[in-house]
Structure 1
Amino acid sequence: MTLSALDYTLIIGFFLIVLGVGFFVSKKSGRDSSEFFLSGRTMPWWLLGLSMVATTFSTDTPNLVTDIVRTNGVSGNWVWWAFLITGLLTVFVYAKLWRKSNVKTDLEFYELRYGGAPASFLRKFRAVYLGVFFNVITMAGVTLAAIKIGSVMLGLEPWQTVICGGVITVVFSALGGFKGVVYTDFLLFFVAMAGSIGAAYFLVNIPEVGGIKALMANENVSDKLSILPDFSNKKALITLFIIPLAVQWWSSWYPGSEPGGGGYIAQRMLAAKDENHAIGATFFFNIMHYALRPWPWILVALASLVVFPDIASIQEAFPTISEDKLGHDLAYSAMLTKLPSGLLGLVLASLIAAYMSTISTQLNWGSSYIVFDFYKQQINPNATEKKLVAIGRISTVFLMVLSAGLALLLQNALQLFDVLLTFGAGTGLIFILRWFWWRINAWSEITAMFASGLIAIILKFTPIGDFFFTAKTGIFPDWMEYPFVVLLTTIIWLLVTFLTQPESPEVLQNFYKKIQPGGPGWNSVVKEAKKNNLSIKNKDKAWSVPKGIYAMIVGCTLIYTCMFATGYWIYGETTLALTLTGIAIVSALVLIRLWKALKEDIL
């Protein structure tokens, strides 16, 4: 494949703009650690919302969606569509709580909610566990996708892609800090959307595919179109639909979809002007993430089944690709090689934008953990602001090097997605309940974290997993593996919770006074404070969480119907599309009224 002068102009121009933004904001971003990691907590909802969307618009996402569609059909996307419930619970319940906490990182929350040595250990350990270990794995997956794109579309060796993309991204991230990331995300979002929509439109209409009607009728595609899984296929129904909707969304910690909020989503909520802006940003993100973006990727994935029906056909078309990098996820990059000059440059620029947005966010977020939750807590509590910014920049480079090295060893995006889900299985319920149940303590979280990781390692990397959960020879069906990890982890951390001492009354009362979580789970703490003539409850208002859960349900109805209506409009199923569109409009009207009521609760 040959790039034209126009393609190179678009790509080089994009690089220069991004680096220019990094240099432009570098002086202000380097003023102090709050500016470098939170931009002084002055960000508006729309800018933060676009930044969240741009961050999750990573190079590995279209590859992952392509892998899912080619393997399990469109309905296979329920493995991540189910996380919408998590996202909207964050919007309507947890966003205001995070903003009230006024912490610099979500890990600082541990020493607000818990006390003593266990809280301090949890904060420092999670800083390394999430900021380095999990973060490096996530970035490696994104870089792996970039490697595959570079190999297929540009004929680059893996190390060449890593150096070209990594050096520019790490320089920009180290200079611009959080402000640079968010400002460029604004540009990256529009470039990425234009590229994905343009690619989908063109590729569906290439002669090999023959347009949308021919695509829908193709024998390789027709059995992949259903948005819901085949209810007569027990295994598909359980693994692709029931487990994600019944268990996965609340039980698993996954970057960008943390139950109760967390990670870089929490970082953006903490950077918002106020609680209303935090809520607006997260809701805007969920609408764009689920209702707007999936279909261009799905259409390209479906078209790829016509052009490259199996992995062998991909290997035949691209014989220089090493065998350890072959997989269904490669089909997305393979399809992009058919784009014309100009559009090709735009799509490549959009993929570069997606890569840089995700990696720069992960670097800044992971670095914030290293600086605030490890270096300042463990090594140098009296560090100056200048020193903290310097450590932030050094750790940014360190994280990039580690993730690039790991990316060279990985094979496919779906493999990584499954491992990350299993490692976080069973921990999510704690992140939801710790705000509203006083009995959860630091040992609950420590236990859940280690139990989940240990069980996942045993099942994924030892013969025990094959003995219990192999598809044909295991004692249990293989789909039981994830629920088993969740159940066992939950039992273990609940036992430890009741076998260990609760947090001290002082810690619990201070947390309640600052956050005002409300609800029956804190009644005993409020009553104990009253006995001691302490006033920790600010307002005598009704608990807002039931109203928030109702808003979450209406919001899910709105976004799911928007997403599925779009699909049925594309499929040409007009009656069903009109029905879903009508439901979406009614849901939107109901949600507007609920939103006003929730805003009054904040004020």
Structure 2
Amino acid sequence: MLLQSVDWIIIAVFFIILLTIGYLASKNASRSAADFFVSGRSMPWWLLGVSMVATTFSCDTPNLVTDMVRQNGVAANWMWWAFLLTGMLTVFIYAKLWNRSKVLTDLEFYEIRYSGKTAAFLRGFRAIYLGFFFNVMVIASVSLAFIKIAAVMLGLSPAIALIIAAIVVVFYSGLGGLKSILYTDLFQFSIAMIGAFGAAWYVTTSPDIGGLQALLSHPDVSGKLRLIPDINQTDVFLSILIVPLAVQWWAAWYPGAEPGGGGYVAQRMLSAKSEKHAMGATLLFNFFHYALRPWPWIIVGLASLIIFPDIASLRTAFPNVPAQFIQHDFAYPAMLSRYLPVGFLGLVVASLIAAFMSTVASQVNWGSSYLVNDFYARFLNKSATEKQKVLVGRISTVTLMFFSVLLALVLENALQAFQYMLMIGAGTGLIYILRWFWWRINAFTELSAMIAAGVFSLAFILTENLFLIHTGDGMVELWGITLSFTVWNIVKFIGVVAATSLVWIIVTYLTPPSSDETLQKFYTKIRPGGPGWKAVRIKALSQGVDLQKEDDLRWDVPTGILCMLLGCVAVYSILFSTGFFLYGKTFPAIAFLSSGVIASYLLSRTWKKLKTR
């Protein structure tokens, strides 16, 4: 079903409102780089939290969830649900530390935590690596989903649809910087959530589905409803639940779920008006991201199994769409185009465009902040004026968008990009957790981990392409050993994590730590406390410098970890309670809801014990 006149009017009104908000919020954005990239460090928690969740709610997210559900059922979402542990750790331990650092970007952290030319090189290299190459890949994967939505619902060619959306994104993000993005995110997230819940309702109540209970009892769906994967399916159980919960959440670096915080999440925390606002923003983000949003996408993904049971049926239904774009994740826009009525279809398309643009706007602003603050102003033009920095920021915004559009046209599906990004960040996550609390971590640690993760990931990919033989039925053979493809993926991930971790641990002990002056300044500014800094405090005292303060005697990280666990219990309980209510299983739904309420109460009491400024 293509859009009708009323749908186009709704989309046009959406764009007008969006651009108006972006323009009105752009006041003072050009005064300085701090205003352009961190909104003058004056933003409230609720606005920052909504912006975080809007950024992670891209148009590729429902496609990714649909892909997971179609292939491995609802339980497959543990591949990203496990990152809640990382998110809650950031809320109660790292949010206040980031806000306390007062850096402009998280890469600037390198030169307040580490010393010497290696720290400077690491900052500059990661500015290009993350700000340009990695960021382009993230934006391209998001753009891929937009291409599929445009092909199904707008009737436009991929290139034309993407170019139009890219121009709008570049306009308002380049005009007002982060402040414009924050306020447009608030509008876009509201529209996106209305679209997601409304789409799930229209799909499930359609005659072809026959209501929620008919959907859940359908033979093509009933076997996909488990919230925990079947332990008897050992390969799936390990890959979907055990590895993500035991290893992935702390070992892998992934945008929006970086261990210890980072990327655009750190950018929002640095923009908060206080440590409490930084913590509140990150907590709101995690609640919305994991407890509120998943179920509408899951419901549509399950329904798609009835209408489009396989990829072949999708390609038959959409013969005019290039076959490379029709994978399992294509089922989400396919369902919307088939079942949404005139008018609401326009609103949902607007919501998906909103999701796309909120993510891309944040990504280009974040990537641009690296290229400007951590490369241009640090290495190319140290005397750059604030106006020059803003100008270069706008130029880099356009450049990032241009190359992202080109890459998007060669990708195939969202899950492909998700798995690749997990691989190249495997083994680095623990460093981002430890570097705040263990003085011995140095610039060589991070540099070696980044290089090792890339090298070992490439080695496994080459091994897979050159020596792996697919024997059928999901089985593969490698050097005479037969195993399932799922187990092979586990071996790849854990292999990269183990090898990378071994490299950076050895390098850490073989290379000198940061200078005493750098370590003491960092401790004085951040006040991390804990046994990991004992050696630095003792050495400083021998030099006549007393780093210890009375507050340091009450190290609150254990309390923060307790808050993290309570927060996880609360969010997971609400997530499961919602699922069981939808499944019509009242007793477990009430039990999980009660668990969530109790955990939330205990969290509110425990949180008050944390030290904040």
Q: What is the alpha-carbon root mean square deviation over aligned residues?
A: 1.3
Give 1:585 deviation, angstroms.
Answer: 0.8
Task: Work out the CA distance in 2 between the residues paired with 1:468 and 1:487.
Answer: 25
CA–CA distance in 1 between the matches of 2:164 and 2:468?
44
Give the structure 1 partner of residue 494 of structure 2: 483
**Structure 2 equivalent of residue 555 of structure 1:** 567
* 1:458 Cα offset (Å): 1.8
Q: Aligned-pair distance for 1:534? A: 0.5
Q: Deviations over 1:339-389 (max 9, x none)?
A: 001110110110011011000000100000000000001100000000000
Where structure 2 has 5 or more consecutive residues not aligned to the other structure, the ranges are none
Where does residue 23 of structure 1 map in the other structure?
A: 23
* Equivalent residue number for residue 516 of structure 2: 505
* Residue identity matched to 1:395: S
Q: TM-score, normalised by structure 2?
A: 0.96
CA shift, 1:468, in A, is: 10
The percent identity for this pair of structures is 53
Aligned residue number for residue 452 of structure 1 = 453
Please give the per-residue CA displacement for 1:507-561, whole angstroms capped at 9, x wherever unaligned.
1111111101011111010011111111223334311100000100010000000
Q: Structure 1 residues 463 and 291 mapped into 2: Cα distance closer, same or farther (>3 Å)?
A: closer
More deviation, 456-465/588-597: 456-465
1:107 partner SS:
coil
Q: What is the one-letter code of the residue matched to 1:533?
A: G
Give the corresponding residue for 2:234.
234
3-state SS in 1 of match to 2:592: helix
* SS in structure 2 of the partner of residue 28 of structure 1: coil
Whole-Å separation in 2 of the counterparts to 1:388 and 1:546: 41
CA contact (8 A) 1:90 1:260 kept: yes
Name 1:527's counterpart in structure 2. 538
| Aligned match of 2:608 | 596
Q: Which residues in structure 2 correspond to 1:271-310 (within 5 Å)?
A: 271-310=271-310
| CA apart distance, 1:104 | 0.3
Give the conservation status (yes or no) of the 8 Å contact 2:468–2:476.
no
Shift of residue 21 of structure 1?
2.1
Q: Which residue of 2 aligns with 1:133?
A: 133
Instruction: Indicate how the Cα distance of structure 1 residues 416 and 216 shifts in structure 2: closer, same or farther if over 3 A, else same.
Output: same
Q: Mark the CA change 1:236 to 1:435 in structure 2 (over 3 Å): closer, same or farther.
A: same
**Match for residue 211 of structure 1?**
211
Cα separation, 1, equivalents of 2:548 and 2:469: 50
The SS at the match of 2:156 is coil
Q: How does 1:557-576 map to 2 (within 5 A)?
A: 557-576=569-588
| 4+ long deviations beyond 4 Å | 462-471
Please show how residues 381-396 of structure 1 align to structure 2 within 5 Å: 381-396=382-397
1:507 is aligned with what amino acid? T
Match of 1:437 in 2: 438
Judged with a 3 Å threshold, the aligned counterparts in structure 2 of structure 1 residues 10 and 303 are, in CA distance, closer, same or farther, namely: same
Whether the 8 Å CA contact 1:459–1:466 is kept in 2: the answer is: no
Equivalence for 2:592? 580
1:96-111 counterparts in 2 under 5 A? 96-111=96-111
Q: Distance in 1 between matches of 2:427 and 2:61?
A: 24
Distance 1:378 1:460 in 2: 34
Q: Which letter does structure 1 place at the counterpart of 2:157?
A: E
C-alpha distance in structure 2 between counterparts of 1:190 and 1:306, whole Å: 29
What's the offset of the Cα at 1:464? 7.2
After TM superposition, give the deviation of residue 160 of structure 1 in Å: 1.1
Residues 114 and 443, structure 2, Cα contact 8 Å, conserved in 1: yes
Shift of 1:467: 4.9
Alignment of 1:101-500 (within 5 A): 101-337=101-337, 338-463=339-464, 466-467=467-468, 471-474=475-478, 475=481, 477-478=487-488, 479-500=490-511
Contact 1:200–1:299 (Cα < 8 Å) also in 2: yes
**Mind listing any 5+ residue stretches in structure 1 that lack a counterpart?**
none
In 2: Cα distance, 1:520 partner to 1:168 partner: 50
* Amino acid in structure 2 at the alignment position of 1:509: Q
TM-score by length of 1: 0.98
Cα deviation code 1:87-117 (max 9, x no counterpart): 0000000001001100000000000000010
Q: Which moved more, 1:496-505 or 1:110-119?
A: 496-505
Q: Quick check: 1:458–1:464 contact (8 Å CA) kept in 2?
A: no
Letter in 1 for 2:29: S
Alignment partners' CA distance in 1, 2:422 and 2:574: 27
Tell me how far apart the structure 2 counterparts of residues 469 and 111 of structure 1 sit (CA, whole Å): 47
> How far, CA to CA, are the matches of 1:98 and 1:267 in structure 2?
9
Alpha-carbon distance in structure 2 between the residues aligned to 1:467 and 1:410: 22
Q: 1:549 to 1:64 in 2, by over 3 A?
A: same
Aligned to 1:545: 557
Q: Is the 8 A contact 1:459 1:465 kept in 2?
A: no
Q: Relative to structure 1, is the Cα distance of residues 224 and 463 closer, same or farther in structure 2, using a 3 angstrom cutoff?
A: closer
State the distance in 2 between where 1:2 and 1:227 align: 35
Contact 1:458 1:465 in 2 (8 A): no
Mapped to 2, the partners of 1:331 and 1:370 lie a distance apart of 37
